Chain A
Amino acid sequence: MKRFALASAALLAMASISSCDKEYLEETPPSLYTPQTVLVDSLGFESAMAGLQSVVREQYTRSDEQGLLGMMQLGTDVAIPGQVQGAEIPYYNYNLLNSQDRAAEVMWSWAYRTINNCNQIIQGAATAPATLRQGYKNRISAEARFFRAYAYNFLTTLWGDVPLVDVPVTSPRTDFTRTPVADVNAFIINDLTTAIPSLLNASRAASGRIAQGAAQQLLGEVYLRTKQYAQAEQILQALINSNQYKLITARYGVRSNQPGDYFADMFVVGNQRRNQGNTEVIWGIEQQLLVPGATTSAQQRRMWVPAYYNIKGMALVDSLGGRGLGRLRLSNWVDYRLYTSPDMRNSKYNLKRRFYYNDPAQTATFGKRVTGLTGSDTIYNITPYTTKWNQFDPADTFGFGTIKDITMMRLGETYLLLAEAQFQQGKLAEAAASINMLRTRAQAAQVTASQINLNFILDERARELIGEEQRRLTLVRTGTLVERTTRLNGASVTGLTQKHALLPIPQTSIDLNNSATLTQNPEY
């Protein structure tokens, strides 16, 4: 009897396990969010937008290849190599630029990761439950459309025809083909024109969020690239006329009582945001020390600030911008020929040219001006540099990340884009007036209509935007990369030809795309 009871108990135990088979084998991830569970209410969409912004932020805030930022400046007219890291070398020694280029792959991947996150939000908003207000769906979708347009504009500028992905990918696709530039452009313009009416204007938008002005500025630039100059002028003018933004023309903010000028004030930590008094910024990527989620591995300081502390008698200090590495150096054209008249943008607060020994321990030299250096010391140790990327954290002298806002768009550039649109339509006087807005602000000499041509506008862009502008994008967009680089900075480049106006499609994407052929750009 006892044995029988035992056997039945065992059988019962087996049976009871079988009956809960289904539940036992079901996958219900306890700590994983999925798009289906998130994109159903506004809190979910807000988290997805923060996620998207974090991806967008990675474009220029990576540390894995510290020389990466150099790809946008080296091999153009504005910069020469300094203490290079490696990733940037093929962008001035163009013979080395091939389809296995690391920097191109990083940027290509960044764009498509951004696009995927945008697609999820845009599709999610289209299918979200009716309990979510339509106005909110439109607005969150419009923000995502801005970023998607930004990513595609970046891609098609640098690579030409690129695969167009407009919905989230849900299965392993390996059949991508390149969509012609014209179609990509139409897609971008559609995204932006759809987005603009639904975006908040800057005075209503929260800090760090995309407002109408950013989409207008981007659309203006896209119209310029696609040679639709009248539309460009119209949208840029609309941006200016919205009166949401205003050029900085007076001292303000955290350093207003210290020596300096108002142009430099815009680039001081604590002054960079709209709610910190910066009326000029249209889109800034926010970064902040000691705030979780607000720090990255950005490398701008190491890129732009020289390694002055390598010179005996020079010590690492905050006033010189912290620990730079001088990975690039301004070109001689920028250093010695760009600013021909008095100009605030060339003031000692904005373009540091003179150095004084600052190490009190070296009494023999302390306080004296640094002179007499030669060779590589003048390339990346002591050399003129823009102060826009000065940043220092006393608790981290090594300065891993450059933790300050990244100015992606500001009104200063709007006038330059406007001038370009006007010039291209032959409206030289209007173009001169647009540029004189900036020159007046910079307390520089006025220009006349007869002086206006594309080269002048590109020169002015360098004067205004050095260190902010991704110079390669501008020169490629205006078709001037080879000519200007060779003419103004030819000694620093090797092997630059017209083929380099487009970057190679990354070999990994070609290799992995087994079901269709991704053609390579010519001659790579």
Chain B
Amino acid sequence: MRVKTLLLCGALVPLQTTLATAADAIEPKNSNVVADAVLDSHLAVEGPVTGTVLDEKGAGMPGVTVVLKGTTLGTTTDVNGRFTLDIPAGTASPTLVVSSIGYVKQEIAVGTQTTFSVKLAPNTQDLNEVVVVGYGTQKRSDVTGSVASVPQDRLEKIPVSNVAQALQGAVAGVNIVASSSVPGSQPNIQIRGVRSITAGTNPYLVVDGVPFPGNLNDINPNDIASIEILKDASSTAIYGTRGSNGVILVTTKRGKTGKPQIRYNGYAGPEYMVNKLHPLDGPAFSAKWQEFTKQRGINLSPVPNIGELDNYNAGRTVDWMKLIRQQGSIQDHNASISGGTENVKYFVSGDYFKQKGIIKGYQFQRITLRSNIDATLTDWLRVGTSAFYSTSNDNGGRADLSLAQVLSPYGTVYNPDGTYTVFPQPPEQLVKNALLGLTTQREDRVNQLTGTGYAEVEPTFVEGLKYRINATYSYRPGRFANYNGRQFGDLRGTAQLINDERQNYTIENLLFYNRSFGKHHFDLTALYSAQENRFFTTTETATGFINDQIGFNSIGSGSNTPTISSFSERRGLISQMARLNYNYDSRYLFTVTARRDGSSVFGADADKYAVFPSVALGWNVANESFLKDQSTLSVLKLRFSYGTTGNEGINPYQTITGNALLQYAYGGVTTVGLRADRIGNSRLKWEQTTSANYAVDFGLLKNRITGTVEYYDAKTKDLLLNRQIPIISGYSTILDNVGTVRNRGLELSVTTANVQGTNFTWETTLNASGNRNKLLSLGYTSADDIGNRLFIGRSLGAVYDYVKTGVWQRNEDPKGQDPGAKAGDLKFQDLNGDGQITTLDRKYLGTSLPKWQGGITNTFTYKGLSLRVFIQTVQGVLKNNPNLNFLDLGGRLNIPREVGYWTPENQSQDRPGLSYINPRGYAFPTNGSFTRLKDVTLNYTFPATIIDKLKLGTLSVYVSGRNLYTWTKWVGWDPEQTYTIGNGTGNIDNPTSLLNAGTSFSNTQGVNPNFPTVRTFVFGLNIGLR
């Protein structure tokens, strides 16, 4: 009867009957049961007991571990979920421990029973789970700060190279913008709005407890066990200066005791171009040129260049977009082995990822190897290591999307000998053949080697005391090499080599002290750490190669204008931190932290140190006696936190007025020169964010509805701004502490179990967050700083421009309002009513920061089948749209058909005429909001009967589609992504501008060429061996 009650509780009210982890104490309710069992121990059975383990739908669960508590005796269930276990004679109060990954563990006192039916409840998002927090872990129910755990299933079965892509739209308050789809590119992440204008806005990345010097691209998503995102001041203050933009904690998988688990996960599938712009076809291109010549009053001809005439007359056209395209594909293969004994545990994994871009020449591949080992050496000493190696490259010459968009459809692609023409539409030399990049020799690769070691000492003579030292070192060499030869149209040949090397180390000394006195629980943490980052790069360029055979491999053979340069940089950070967590009876929670950081990047005339304190309170209302005996409200927790964090995410040496190195020649002899380059600011200091966080966690109707509502109010003062100053001083910008910005926001996350049938379930997870950004003041002026686009009382990312009201038509006379205008020019509103359009007619129109965004995931399961549909939305974005600005006056270059132009006949009120030169630099602000069917995954987990026949541990297959459909009003490639509009000319006239040599801490892969969004379909397979 007791067991029955327990089972009932276990099945239906998992929260109140479950245990956090094996290490945690048994909850009070259960302890009564166990205590009874102890009393009845003389009645306990000896010999075999049998039973069946059922899942939440009542189906037998194979592979479940059943162990006799306190012994090594155990077994696993068979394919039907049945088990048999011998209870040795004389076992005192025998208890069965029934556990399976992903399910809540149960302990069952055997008593006099010999047959058991155990129903395991899935371990859903319950408050007893353990979450990783800064420098440690905590029970979810004891957390006072704002810690979002990424749903585990977001990390699986989604075809992405970078785990951040999988998080897009999945976590409230986390804005992830993929500014490029180039294979291997890195998305930008913002947590709770933009706090800083100039200093870094990307969150701090911590992997397995130590700061990670690389980026998320280096981490294989398959190795990740969990991701936690720290959002409020209380949880991030512990990272002090690095915490301002939030913290992402990544925990990689580690070995568990038991026999080796061998797993393979893999997927592969095709990729397609979406959200396209379509260059005008032949007749439309010719019509556009003729309209342009008419509007400009120049000689009429069907095409701009004589070199296009033959093809025009013959009606031969080329589709440049088709020429640069190829079938894209993506694949990933991952194998891992994990396991261990009581004292030594291991996890080893290897991964190969390859993406072939949808534009010719683009590819990205990565190999990663990880080995995590933990060893308990004595009862007081534990050591472990993580070794991680990754090598990635996006080698290869590339076709050019921006050129393909502007080249004439009447151009000539190939020379008679089959090579590419350099200039497809002679005598035009402004735009080159979009395929020429395929002839370049190009290498771009990064290797990363990271080694982390830790040792934990737990002195047996002081209860609850633990000392831990973490040391991590990372070495990250990169190389970029490029050679453009004769086929590229470079008659001398030009080679460039950039080698760089990053070295980072962190040493952390941590002291923990953990004690409980009755219902009082104390948890103290103290830290002393030092971090250093070093960067060194060399760049060599040369031209004048004998031929194109060798290229950059023998850069010394370039006879003309060789140049070499190098750059070196270092930054250091010293930190001390202390934290106290206190809770009373898991009802009243209290956290106080303080961190003191000293950073090298701040000025000699300012304090390099700053202290960042925070405090947090929590109240588990549902644990109060007056709420105990009701079933509507299963979780209710109130949280409040307040604290300060800092930001030092600026490049070193900004405090020093420096010169730029250059070359100059007198009389044909090269000499080295130095010129004023930038003005230093010796008073540069921390940017500090003080924020308050108010939150409610709730669980209703036996946790069928769970969720969190949070409100935050964060003020960032001494904002670091690379502020523009009048060029009259000789400098155009200075890095300065200016002003205050406020971010307020509301975040909502709700998960509802809509249908919980035996065979069918439907679960919805919804998150939505809104952020209001407001510039409160500027230190150096009480007025708006129009030049820097900073408006007091308005949001950052301000769009400040004229108000377009239409287009001047032929029957209208613009003289009274805009004397320079002619028919076909844009018509602007005369805001101040002075009868003319001047700079005073500009106003604040909106912000490029989204007003709100969200995601909704619906998961349906039917037996082994599950379907997950994820929709993401980003709303309230106003962005300048460079696609709408005619380059080269809309003349000789092609334009997308989606863009269009005014003619006297169509009398467009939206688009200007082709000869419009945009004399006021109107930037065409456009609504950049969008909603995306981001991904859909259909998964099938094979039933035990089949797995058994195949002699496997687990087997599942899935198909997944990504970026399936986008709803937006944006005209352009993709509202989310940033495209540089040079219409090819920028790339050709100054090819070296694409290579950001010697820039501080930038990745050689950091410059994103134009690349469209891709739609991906994959087929995936997960296999676990027995």
On A, residues with C-beta under 8 Å from B are 3, 6-7, 10, 13-14, 17-18, 21, 24-27, 29-35, 38, 44, 46-55, 63, 86, 89-90, 93, 95-96, 98-102, 108-109, 112-113, 115-117, 119-120, 163, 165, 168-174, 176, 206-209, 273, 275, 286, 288, 290-295, 297, 307, 309-312, 316, 323, 374-377, 379, 394-398, 400, 495, 506-509, 511-515, 518
State whether A275 touches B667 (Cβ < 8 A): yes
4 tightest CB-CB pairs across the interface, nearest first? A116-B730, A293-B663, A50-B673, A51-B675
State whether A54 touches B658 (Cβ < 8 A).
Answer: no
Interface positions of B from 526 to 571, Cβ below 8 Å from A? 528, 530, 532, 544, 560-563, 566-570
Residues from chain A with a CB closer than 8 A to the CB of B657 are: 34-35, 170
With both chains docked as a complex, state the minimum distance between the C-beta of A97 and any C-beta of chain B, in angstroms: 8
Q: With contacts A165-B729, A292-B562, A294-B665 known, is A90 near B658, CB below 8 A?
A: no
B-side contacts of A3, CB under 8 Å: 380, 457, 459
B668 adjacent to chain A (CB < 8 Å): yes
Stretch with Cβ within 8 A of A (4 or more), from B744-752, B782-790, B963-971? B782-790
Whole-angstrom distance between the alpha carbons of A93 and B670 in the complex?
42
B599: A residues at CB distance < 8 A: 25
Contact B732 A98 (CB under 8 A): no
Among candidates B665, B666, B919, residue contacting A90 with C-beta atoms closer than 8 Å = B919
CB nearest neighbor in B for A173: B729
Is A47 a contact of B467 with CB atoms below 8 Å?
A: no
A24-B729 contact given A10-B469, A52-B675, A495-B820, CB 8 Å threshold: no
Give the residue name and chain of the B residue nearest to A95 (CB). Answer: B820
Residue from B658, B663, B723 within 8 A of A34 (CB atoms): B658
In the assembled complex, the CB of B920 is this many whole angstroms from the nearest CB of chain A, namely 6
With contacts A27-B656, A90-B919, A376-B298 taken as known, whether A116 is within 8 angstroms of B731 at the C-beta atoms is yes
Which of B121-129, B600-608, B846-854, B943-951 is the contact stretch? B600-608
Contact indicator B667/A208 (Cβ below 8 Å): yes
Mask for B692-727, Cβ within 8 A of A = 1, else 0? 000000000000000000000000000000011111
Task: Flag if A31 contacts B566 (CB, 8 Å).
Answer: yes
Q: Contact partner of A512 among B656, B726, B819, B989, CB < 8 A? A: B726
When the two chains form their complex, are residues A395 and B491 in contact, meaning their CB atoms are under 8 A apart? yes
A6 CB contacts on chain B under 8 angstroms? 457
Point out the residues of chain B lying under 8 angstroms from A25, CB to CB.
572, 574, 598-600, 608
Contacts of A509 in B (CB 8 A): 726-728
A294 to B666, CA, bound (A): 8
Cβ-defined contact, B574 with A172, below 8 A: no
Q: Which residues of A contact B724 (CB under 8 A)?
A: 508, 512
Taking A96-B919, A163-B728 as given, write out 5 further A-B residue pairs in contact, using a Cβ cutoff of 8 Å, ordered by the A residue number: A33-B659, A47-B674, A165-B730, A288-B665, A291-B561
On B, residues with C-beta under 8 Å from A are: 297-299, 305-306, 380, 427, 429, 457, 459, 467, 469, 489, 491-492, 507, 509, 528, 530, 532, 544, 560-563, 566-570, 572, 574, 598-601, 604, 608, 652-653, 655-676, 679, 681, 723-732, 734, 736, 780-781, 783, 785-788, 819-820, 838-839, 889, 917, 919-921, 989-990
A-B contact pairs, 14 of them (CB 8 A): A10-B469, A34-B659, A50-B662, A98-B919, A109-B727, A176-B728, A288-B668, A290-B544, A290-B560, A291-B670, A292-B670, A395-B492, A512-B788, A515-B781
Q: Which of B299, B666, B679, B781 has the most CB of A within 10 A?
A: B666
| Contact call B785/A27, Cβ cutoff below 8 A | no
Q: Number of residue pairs across A and B with beta carbons under 8 Å? A: 283
Which listed residue, B299, B563, B598, B838, touches A292 by the CB 8 Å rule? B563
Name the distance in Å between B517's Cβ and chain A's nearest Cβ: 25
A395 to chain B, nearest CB (A): 4
Most buried by A among B660, B725, B734: B725
Residue in A closest to B531 when the chains form the complex, CB atoms: A24
Q: Which residues of A contact B566 (CB under 8 A)?
A: 31
Question: Are B574 and A515 neighbours in the complex by a CB distance under 8 Å?
Answer: no
| Residue in B568, B727, B781, B990 whose CB lies within 8 Å of A112 | B727
Are A396 and B544 in contact, CB atoms less than 8 angstroms apart?
no
B730 and A169 contacting across the interface, CB-CB below 8 Å? yes
B658 touches A323 (CB 8 A): no
- Asked if residues A173 and B726 are in contact (CB atoms below 8 Å), the reply is yes
Contact of A96 among B608, B732, B820 (CB under 8 A): B820
- Give B843 Cβ to nearest chain A Cβ, in Å: 14
In the complex, chain A residues whose CB is within 8 Å of the CB of B467:
7, 10
Complex Cα spacing A44 to B469, Å: 48
Residues of chain A with a CB closer than 8 A to B457's CB: 3, 6-7
Give bound CA distance, A298 to B598, whole Å: 47
* B658 A29 Cβ-Cβ under 8 A: yes
Whether the pair B673, A374 counts as a contact (CB closer than 8 A) is no
Q: Which residues of B contact A165 (CB under 8 A)?
A: 728-730
